[in-house]
A and B are shown apart, each in its own frame.
Chain A
């Protein structure tokens, strides 16, 4: 059974700092890994999608990496801003099975202080 773990559960940083969020997963037979952002009381916004054949994806100040062999992904946020404050979730999509397709970690709650 796939398990997705995110560390740390919460993170507080001053504005301008570069930071890394971690995601690990136990089953490497995945189609892809997706990073989402969730603001309080809101839905999930997709940030980056990394296919299993890719090593990284970039969008603006965000860079996500994927190492299937070690079961790890990182989300790098450069020059953090207060507007980046949210909960960040990673999720793996894998081949069928009784768990369905997308397995989520419990998220990292990020707070960026002005």
Chain B
């Protein structure tokens, strides 16, 4: 298995632009999570899905952030419009059921200038 695949690995964009981050979970995993990591706040859960349905989006900072999971093999996290304070590493993770561990992707490093 190729693991959790995220794209792009790096993204540099100007303030105000739309940014879309992509994630392909491990085949067969029914949970998908989006995390954000910064030096100041560590790892923060943004949103998670179970069987493609958003379960908890209370970690999404504001309405500029949105996430979708149109099918079991693909999810997107969109920021529109982007701001410099959104600069962080965004991780996607997937899991099989509730009793098993998470597998993380390599992350997308986002820089908003």
Contact = CB atoms under 8 A, between A and B. Distances in A.
A49 interface: yes
A26 to B, nearest CB: 16
| A-B complex: 5 closest residue pairs judged by Cβ atoms | A49-B101, A44-B104, A100-B45, A43-B106, A104-B43
Contact of A100 (B42, B59, B101): B59
Interface residues of A, number: 26
Chain B interface mostly:
strand
Size category, B interface: 20 to 34
B33 A100 contact: yes
Contact of A102 (B42, B45, B107): B45
Given A49-B100, A102-B33, A42 B43 contact: no
Nearest to A42: B106
17 contacts: A34-B102, A42-B107, A43-B105, A43-B107, A46-B102, A91-B102, A95-B98, A96-B55, A97-B56, A99-B45, A100-B45, A101-B31, A101-B98, A102-B102, A104-B42, A106-B42, A107-B42
